[in-house]
Amino acid sequence: MLTLFVAAFVLGLIFNAAPGAVFAETVRQAARGGYKPALAVQLGSLVGDSTWAVLGLAGVGLLLQLDWLRLPVGIAGVVYLLYLAWDSWKAAKQEFSVNGGAAAKKNALRSGMMLSLTNPQNVAYVAALSTSMGTIGVYDPTPKDYAVFFAGLMTASFLWCFICAGIVARLFKSANSGWTKVTYQLCAVAFFVLAATSLRELLTHSVARSNVPSPALTKPL
């Protein structure tokens, strides 16, 4: 069990260290509010990460292959990324002071939750990770094995919240107003690129599925 936990922990760190929308939002919040808003983004993302992890390990990732479920969730993610891109670009043109108050932390927490909950790719990733159990000798996982694997993933995710927020906040601790505005503009571009990439993947997936012939049409006479 310890080997399984450690393996899941390492995979969890790799999963969380991959740059994406949550990381970009962490940088954006750190540039303006420092450590606490950055940490709030990371902690908020745990809500989505844990939700998708449960779904992935429960084997319901196949549900996201259904367009009626996958498309709405994916489109919601694209829309929210576009909103963050617009909000970041707008904020870069405004004068503001560094503020890590309660309102900033609340908004950062909500952003982290929204970004992770509207990213259905996480469920496929976690489901794929669970297949790696066979490499450490767990060929027929039991509910207990899945529970240990989930605990390893979530432990890594929880610790990464503090590691990532600390590193990012330290980098921007002495940032001046000009550098902060540039950071906001870069984050806006990153959010826009992520939204465009997500939309392209959604459209590609939908077109590919629409081109698959129906079994009734391919059945020999």
DSSP-derived secondary structure for 7-52: HHHHHHHHHHHS-SHHHHHHHHHHHHH-HHHHHHHHHHHHHHHHHH
For position 221, what pLDDT does the model report?
45
From residue 116, alpha-carbon distances to 24, 47, 121, 148 in Å are: 12, 7, 10, 22
Domain ranges (residues) in the chain: 2-218
Q: Which of 133, 125, 160, 126 is nearest to 1 (CA)?
A: 133
DSSP-derived secondary structure for 118-179: T-THHHHHHHHHHGGGGGGT-SS--HHHHHHHHHHHHHHHHHHHHHHHHHHHHHTTT--HHH
Q: pLDDT under 50 in the chain at which residues?
A: 61, 96-98, 217-221
The pLDDT tens digits for 92-101 are: 776 544 455 5
**How far does the chain reach from its first CA to its final CA, in angstroms?**
54
Distance CA 197, CA 191 (A): 10
pTM of the model: 0.69
For position 162, what pLDDT does the model report?
96
Distance CA 25, CA 114 (A): 11
For position 217, what pLDDT does the model report?
46
Is residue 29 within 8 Å of residue 111, measured between CB atoms?
yes
Distance CA 149, CA 170 (A): 32
Distance CA 157, CA 89 (A): 29
For position 61, what pLDDT does the model report?
47
The three-state secondary structure class of 68 is helix
For position 166, what pLDDT does the model report?
93
Residue located via tokens 């001046």: 176
Is residue 9 within 8 Å of residue 152, measured between CB atoms?
yes
Question: What radius of gyration do the chain's Cα atoms show?
Answer: 20
Indicate the DSSP class of residue 211. T
